[in-house]
Amino acid sequence: MWSRRDFVKTMVLGSAGLSVIPSFALKNNQLKRLLILHTNDMHCHFEPFPDTDPRNAGKGGMNRIAAYVKKMRETDPDLLLFDSGDFSQGTPYFNFFKAEMVLQLMSEMKYAAGTIGNHEFDNGVDELNRALKVADFPLICSNYDFSKNSLSGTILKNKVFEQKGIRIGVYGLGIELNGLVGDVQAGKTQYLDPVETALTQEDYLKNKEHCDLVVCLSHLGHDYKDDKISDFKLAPQTSFTDLILGGHTHSFFEKPVEFTNKRNNKVVVNQAGFGALMLGQVEIYFEKGKKSFVDFSKNRQIG
């Protein structure tokens, strides 16, 4: 019988029948390309959907995403891989292994960071804190105050990465827990206003940490019919955020959506479906350290 560790290694090393990896070329030697890949709402779909699934038979699977990312790293070892929450819950793997197994696989895939979705609370904050001990990457959430529970000091407010001489600042936003997460599971986690939090975090990362790119890992949802805060409502209110990588609404974007922020600059929103059926893909080009333009690479369907 396979152990959890053997299973995870197989997921990362397997070829999974991916399509041909696309080639990328820089048009100018002075340009630096930063490749960002991202996922959301994977819900422990390690394997493709079963053949009996009426909509996604044989599609998706973290095993296939792992193989694709591994192949991409051969030509671009500096790529960054992010997740926008709800990696937990959804298949029997979670019922048996809880969050530990998916966090180990994500560590093997070399995620740079992730944020917290509402389903990360399903087994309570103490269980999440225990599972996070196997993770080799941080979870970042700026608008949850964990000071009154066991996650205090474990979840980061922000983090700065440096790749190819480019400074990338990352912050995270979680959805309102009331109505989605029970009081016992939330463990006295306090929800803070996401817009105020975003403005504080982006200012810090841009003007204090001098980041060339500011990224928000969001589990707010891309848009709603009412006034509920979403990625689409947040983007025009920001000043220094360049990229919002979203989750929660299981939205399949063919390509990123562009908005104009308060400083009349571009801010891009993207989301990559659910169930490991899609991998989000965005390229940002920098010229002499300054962001030049974003290539709207199409998100990649998995399977």
**What are the two backbone dihedrals, phi and then psi, of residue 66, each rounded to the nearest 5 degrees?**
-60, -40
283 versus 22: the higher-pLDDT residue is: 283
Q: Which residue has the tokens 């030049």?
A: 292
Alpha helices for the chain (secondary structure H): 4-13, 62-75, 92-97, 100-108, 125-131, 183-186, 194-203, 231-234
Average pLDDT over residues 229-238: 98
pLDDT at 244: 98
| pLDDT value of residue 190 | 97
> Does residue 17 carry a pLDDT above 50?
no
Residue type for position 262: K
> CB neighbours of 12 closer than 8 A, spacing ≥ 6?
66, 67, 70, 105, 108, 109
Torsion angle, CA of 251/255/257/258, rounded to 10 degrees?
Answer: 160
pLDDT at 7 over 50: no
Would the pLDDT of 214 be above 50?
yes
Distances (CA, A) of 145 to 11, 156, 197, 199, 265: 34, 10, 11, 17, 30
Burial class (CB in 10 A: 0-12, 13-18, 19+), 285: middle
Tokens 């080799």 correspond to 136
Q: What are phi and psi of 236, to 5 degrees?
A: -70, -15
Secondary structure (DSSP) of 234-270: HGGG-SS--EEE--SS--B-SS-EEEE-TTS-EEEEE
Global pTM value: 0.89
What is the CATH architecture assignment of 33-301? 4-Layer Sandwich (3.60)
How many angstroms separate the CA atoms of 301 and 55, rounded? 14
Q: In the chain, how many H helices and how many E strands?
A: 8, 14
**What's the whole-number mean pLDDT along residues 83-93?**
91
Whether the CB-CB separation of 264 and 287 falls below 8 Å is answered with no
Task: Please determine, for residue 208, whether its predicted confidence score (pLDDT) is greater than 90.
Answer: yes
Which has the minimum average pLDDT: 94-103, 254-263, 272-281, 293-302?
Answer: 293-302
The secondary structure of residue 70, as a DSSP letter, is H
How much is the average pLDDT of 53-80? 95
pLDDT digits (tens, 9 = 90+) for 28-42: 456 888 999 999 999
More confident of the two residues 48 and 291: 48
Task: For residue 215, give the nearest of 34, 76, 73 by alpha carbon.
Answer: 34
